[in-house]
Chains A and B, each alone.
Chain A
């Protein structure tokens, strides 16, 4: 951490010098300077592969405006909110990142987090400082929507009374419902539900259970797992003994989804396995072993996989492939989207400071996004409702259909 703090201050000092050196000579607008976007995403552990493509998406968006808007230079800093001790996002590191962003005078935008639990830590810190935050990946409803989480949510994240947190992905109260509906249309009559006991995983399984019961799927079990366990053989036996048609796991690759899939198969469970978007990354297939997933695994995602996008999304995909020579992963498009929301806000802001940009972000309306036009609603949520279902074939994700239509 010392290193990054040092780099951080050197970087800050340099840009101050740079501005100081330029000001007298260049006839830029009088107010011009540097505006910084900070992203806080997990870069240690198996999430890193996906984060790489999200960061690429952010960089692509900044490059598209030439790295500057109205004479203001757009700087970008890529922070890691995971620690090797956890191999996953770490609340202490996330808090550190948010505090560093607050203290950085140039920082006007915070992109993150990937995990909903991490957002819970960062939002109030940034809220007190009036710093706008856009998440490319958080789907736990309680972060923005009243009535879906704890009684004090989401007000507890807004100590200043204003809304500073927005997200460009549809939430789990939609995803969990669509997942249950999809399970029904896959002829599942009995489901066993597992979750990783994290904010996101537990949240989405609660929604899934409620909807499953409503549409007449029998829930034969509902359990929280120990995401650090060496294996889940005993649990697999328990699951098999209730003979479900489908097992739903609410969690992420980092909370051991791969091992759960492995042990269900080696424990002799033959039915379907369904997971939410937290497992929609190549690292999940690698951790589980393709043979354990092929043809019987279903993944829901609040959006479209990049190869199915049209319009602005297709432009993004082509530009991404041209620049980075690889296919973007699912969340890359949302990394790109979050950055573009900020860039548009910077262009439209009346004053180029935190308050001005926050106001411009919350006024985002009919935004020409990768999934078509959408707006932020009063809670800070996207109005986009596009959901898709995927399966795994030959070790690759394969798009099946758009859910909810």
Chain B
């Protein structure tokens, strides 16, 4: 193996991890862009999506489905978790956020933190459910093994460099989603309505835009992306647990801030940056410095570019 190959391999790993982070980060950034709320529950909604995927996988016995059946199974989990997480995120908005729309931003934030705890405990409860799906003696808090139904073979043969079907899946799912989302925001009626509400909700409602419904749709879309991310994350890492949302959410939130919160390309750029910085730091420095490096970079960027890499300077709120 060559040093060059090691570098390429770390780049692949970093981009794969970064894509997953970016997909979650979009959920944070979309909601922030439209109502300036950091939706702390987003990471936990993502976590519940992974539990749903594992439950589907186990309940339907996907491990025994054979290769072509498993492709269908992956599609089923992706759609199932996306709809579930989208619906859950929409319900959170309807139940816990909408009533507070007119109150101070702080009460909204506190409500979001509350939702995060509720969701996390739902995950703890779910993990202890008496289902054969969970092998770990039903210890609620124990990490669950997510069966590797995607073969862990090297598509490049026996060389040092490895690309697995898991890596391909990450790219095959996230890139179309990001392209589709950009198209939707830029070109469709709903997208235009979302941008209008983000700029000025009062003016938007005077123009006849149903503001609450547009915000609800934003929550749904953000949640659905989290749902897609949860399935990819689970298939890529093969372990889920009720606390995974905290860590994934923190990485994603950092990515959103790094890229410029409120900006979609910013979230993607931020996610990929964090993924690659992590990989490179693991390789060329030491693993124990990785978190320090990531947050060090965040601090530096916020000092010199307070709105993040791609953030606009038009607003200053929260």
* Chain A interface residues (CB < 8 Å from chain B): 44-46, 48-49, 84, 87, 197, 223-226, 228-231, 233-235, 237-238, 240-241, 258-259, 262, 265-268, 282-283, 286-289, 291
Q: Knowing that A230-B248, A287-B239 are A-B contacts, what are 13 other residue pairs whose CB atoms are under 8 Å apart, sorted by A's residue number?
A: A46-B143, A48-B139, A223-B288, A231-B17, A233-B13, A234-B279, A234-B283, A241-B160, A262-B238, A266-B164, A267-B162, A283-B137, A291-B148
Minimal beta-carbon separation of B132 from chain A (angstroms): 13
In the bound complex, residues from chain A placing their C-beta under 8 Å from that of B135 are 286
In the bound complex, residues from chain A placing their C-beta under 8 Å from that of B148 are 266, 289, 291
In the bound complex, residues from chain B placing their C-beta under 8 Å from that of A231 are 17, 236-237
A-B contacts, 5 of them at CB < 8 A, read: A225-B287, A235-B282, A237-B10, A258-B145, A286-B135
In the bound complex, residues from chain A placing their C-beta under 8 Å from that of B288 are 197, 223-226
Q: CA separation between A266 and B238, bound complex, in Å?
A: 10
Minimal beta-carbon separation of B282 from chain A (angstroms): 4
Q: CA separation between A238 and B286, bound complex, in Å?
A: 10
User: Given the known A-B contacts A45-B141, A286-B135, are A224 and B233 also in contact in the complex, defined by CB atoms under 8 Å?
Assistant: no
Minimal beta-carbon separation of B118 from chain A (angstroms): 14
Interface positions, chain B 1-32, Cβ under 8 Å from A, are 1, 6, 9-10, 13-14, 16-17
CB <8 Å contact, B233 and A230? yes
CB <8 Å contact, A87 and B10? no
Interface bits B142-155 vs A (CB < 8 Å: 1, else 0): 11010110001010
CB <8 Å contact, B6 and A241? yes
Q: CA separation between A291 and B148, bound complex, in Å?
A: 10
CB <8 Å contact, A287 and B142? yes
Q: CA separation between A234 and B286, bound complex, in Å?
A: 11
CB <8 Å contact, B142 and A226? no
In the bound complex, residues from chain A placing their C-beta under 8 Å from that of B17 are 230-231, 233-234
Minimal beta-carbon separation of A37 from chain B (angstroms): 24
B86 within 8 A of A: no
Q: CA separation between A49 and B50, bound complex, in Å?
A: 23
Interface bits B59-103 vs A (CB < 8 Å: 1, else 0): 000000000000000000000000000000000000000000000
B278 within 8 A of A: yes
User: Given the known A-B contacts A46-B139, A48-B139, A233-B17, are A226 and B238 also in contact in the complex, defined by CB atoms under 8 Å?
Assistant: no
CB <8 Å contact, B10 and A234? yes
Q: CA separation between A329 and B233, bound complex, in Å?
A: 32
CB <8 Å contact, B145 and A283? no
Contact residue among A225, A228, A241, A291 (Cβ-Cβ distance under 8 Å from B1): A241
Interface positions, chain B 212-250, Cβ under 8 Å from A, are 233, 236-239, 241, 243-244, 247-248
* Chain B interface residues (CB < 8 Å from chain A): 1, 6, 9-10, 13-14, 16-17, 124, 135-137, 139, 141-143, 145, 147-148, 152, 154, 160, 162, 164, 166, 233, 236-239, 241, 243-244, 247-248, 251, 278-279, 282-283, 286-288, 290-291
CB <8 Å contact, B6 and A266? no
Q: CA separation between A289 and B238, bound complex, in Å?
A: 9
Main secondary structure on chain A at its contact with chain B?
helix
When C-beta atoms are compared, the residue in chain A nearest to B284 turns out to be: A238
Minimal beta-carbon separation of A223 from chain B (angstroms): 5
When C-beta atoms are compared, the residue in chain A nearest to B237 turns out to be: A231
Contact residue among B142, B147, B236, B283 (Cβ-Cβ distance under 8 Å from A46): B142
User: Given the known A-B contacts A45-B141, A287-B143, are A265 and B152 also in contact in the complex, defined by CB atoms under 8 Å?
Assistant: yes
Minimal beta-carbon separation of B234 from chain A (angstroms): 10
In the bound complex, residues from chain A placing their C-beta under 8 Å from that of B283 are 234, 237-238
CB <8 Å contact, B237 and A224? no
Q: CA separation between A282 and B286, bound complex, in Å?
A: 31
Minimal beta-carbon separation of B301 from chain A (angstroms): 22
Q: CA separation between A258 and B135, bound complex, in Å?
A: 14
When C-beta atoms are compared, the residue in chain B nearest to A262 turns out to be: B238
Task: List 3 A-B pairs, minimum CB-CB distance, nearest first.
Answer: A46-B142, A234-B282, A234-B279
User: Given the known A-B contacts A223-B286, A226-B291, A238-B282, are A283 and B141 also in contact in the complex, defined by CB atoms under 8 Å?
Assistant: no
Minimal beta-carbon separation of A206 from chain B (angstroms): 15
Q: CA separation between A283 and B239, bound complex, in Å?
A: 13
In the bound complex, residues from chain B placing their C-beta under 8 Å from that of A45 are 139, 141-142
CB <8 Å contact, A287 and B279? no
User: Given the known A-B contacts A87-B243, A266-B166, A289-B148, are A226 and B137 also in contact in the complex, defined by CB atoms under 8 Å?
Assistant: no
CB <8 Å contact, B164 and A230? no
